[in-house]
Amino acid sequence: MKYELVVGLEVHCQLNTVSKAFCGCSAQFGKHANTNVCPVCLALPGALPVLNRRVVEDAVKLGLATGCSIASHSVLARKNYFYPDLPKGYQISQFEEPICSEGNLHIDVGEGRKDIRLIRIHIEEDAGKSIHDIGEETYIDLNRSGVPLLEIVSYPDIRTSKEASAYLQKLRQIVKYLGISDGNMEEGSLRCDANVSLRPEGATEYGTRTEIKNMNSFKNVEKAIEYEAERHREILDNGGVIIQETRLWDADKGETRSMRGKEFAHDYRYFPDPDLVPVLVDQEMIERVRHELPEFPEVRALRFAEEYAIPVYDAGVLTVEREVADYFEETVRISGDAKASSNWVMGEVMRTLKEKYLDIVEFSILPERLGGLVRLIGEGAISNTIAKQVFEIMMSEQATAAEIVEREGLAQVSDTGAIETVVQEILDANPGQLAAYRGGKTKLLGFFVGQCMSRMKGKANPQMVNELLLKRLDG
């Protein structure tokens, strides 16, 4: 029997606020265990939570960015369950009245645009962390307890593992563009649970679903969904029944394994938190937040292609990350040459970032300095070959391109007499190649250009070298 894969994703996005969701403790990642804690996040008697306003604003930002309806009145609720890393015995979340609902996020996996509908986006606090890899004991770190999250829940509109990965990457791009999260899956800033089921092709009823947890990369999301779909298929083809449960993805073994029975909403006994007042969002806040929204990737890419007259492909690459797009625009402002700036950012800059595992914000060559380098090329002061040498020097010091060119004596030679002398020397030294060229092997022009540029250590004006060579070769 043929089956259709049905997937819905629940994504927890950790916000990059300075303090936690309901207290003033630092939300910074990587501190010593149990140092970012206070009576509120430790749930000591008498400690009362106070909602962080920035969390509400970030929720509204993401809601507007994904076309959600923003609730003027929403309620924070207690989600009750018992686990060692949950000191209160409940988690502050939202249930019946979320702050954002009914949005959509569009993706493209090479088959055209597809909209994935969102059920809701709601505010939640994180739990602590259980540590199992120190000896035989389990330890609890509550630094993460109370760190603000947004949970984004999709409808089961996803039909392939590629779509799931594309959805997650798109969501990561949006939260990074908004500046509300770093979207780092490896550090847990973006965590994804996948609800997976199969149904016979053409059926409208959903099959029994299983939930997969512990996927910390886009590739693992794809692999886990594919594995689970195949596991369902084998069970159904053999006349078995799918058990609704939560399963853990084991990346080392490439398989899912049973973790616990899947909970239902009523298992958590949600009820409004009596210590917290309702969240009220007025139109003034919505409009203020809307005004703060950035220019999003698709719109920015279209603008780049039109305003800077660069290929659509280039514009798409340059706008994947907001910081790279900002870097490119500042480079263009200094250099005055959009296409050359695009080539340098997509070429040397991105190559260096990849090789050194850097983000653009960590890159030592600021856009003002790269723009100065590109401008020197455009002015004919240096060749592209020399520019690459200058670029390497700029990586290790803060001097401008112009300062390095002057100091190292790298200025381009455009003296006709000097170039003519070298051209004649190269022709005299290679009579065999000269005869072959004049006999019809015109591709040897590249050989002669290379010899001249090598003799002049890359400093000769390439256009003049070509012109003077052709004059002598065809003369």
Where are the domains positioned within the chain? 3-287, 295-408, 416-473
Query: Are 154 and 167 a contacting pair, CB within 8 Å?
Result: yes
pLDDT at 415: 60
Residue 410: its pLDDT value, please? Answer: 79
How far apart, in whole angstroms, are the C-alpha atoms of residue 172 and residue 164? 12
**Integer Cα distance of 88 and 125 in angstroms:** 12
pLDDT interval class at 64 (50, 70, 90): very high
Q: Mean per-residue pLDDT for 308-329? A: 96
Radius of gyration from C-alpha coordinates of the chain: 30
Alpha helices in 146-266 (DSSP H): 161-178, 218-237
Which pLDDT tens digit goes with each residue over 150-183? 999 999 999 999 999 999 999 999 999 999 999 9
Instruction: Name beta bridge partners: 210.
Output: 196
pLDDT in tens, 405-447: 988 887 766 667 777 788 888 888 898 887 788 888 888 888 9
pLDDT digits (tens, 9 = 90+) for 225-251: 999 999 999 999 999 999 999 999 999
Query: Which range in 120-129, 449-458, 464-473 is most confidently predicted, on average pLDDT?
Result: 120-129
CA distance 248 to 254: 11
CATH topology of domain 416-473: Arc Repressor Mutant, subunit A (1.10.10)
Q: Is the pLDDT of residue 351 over 90?
A: yes
pLDDT at 263 over 70: no
pLDDT at 270 over 70: yes
CB-based contact 74:279 (threshold 8 Å): yes
Coarse DSSP helix, strand, coil percentages of the chain, rounded to the nearest 5 percent: 40, 20, 35
Mean pLDDT of all residues in the chain? 92
Q: Is the pLDDT of residue 277 over 70?
A: yes
Span 310-324, average pLDDT: 95
Structure tokens at 39: 């009576």
Helices (H), 309-444: 312-318, 322-335, 338-344, 350-356, 367-378, 384-396, 401-408, 416-429, 431-438
Distance CA 183, CA 171 (A): 9
Are the C-beta atoms of 11 and 152 separated by less than 8 Å? Answer: yes
pLDDT tier, 261 (very low <50, low <70, confident <90, very high otherwise): low
Query: What pLDDT digit, counting tens, does each position of 21-61 carry?
Result: 999 999 988 899 999 999 999 999 999 999 999 999 999 99
- DSSP tag of 267: G
- Give the pairing of strands 245-250 and 255-261: antiparallel
| Ranges 82-86, 112-116, 318-322, 413-417: which has the least confidence | 413-417
Q: For residue 79, what are the CA distances in angstroms to 120, 151, 194, 246, 391? A: 17, 14, 20, 18, 55
Reading the block at residue 178, the tokens are 């908004």
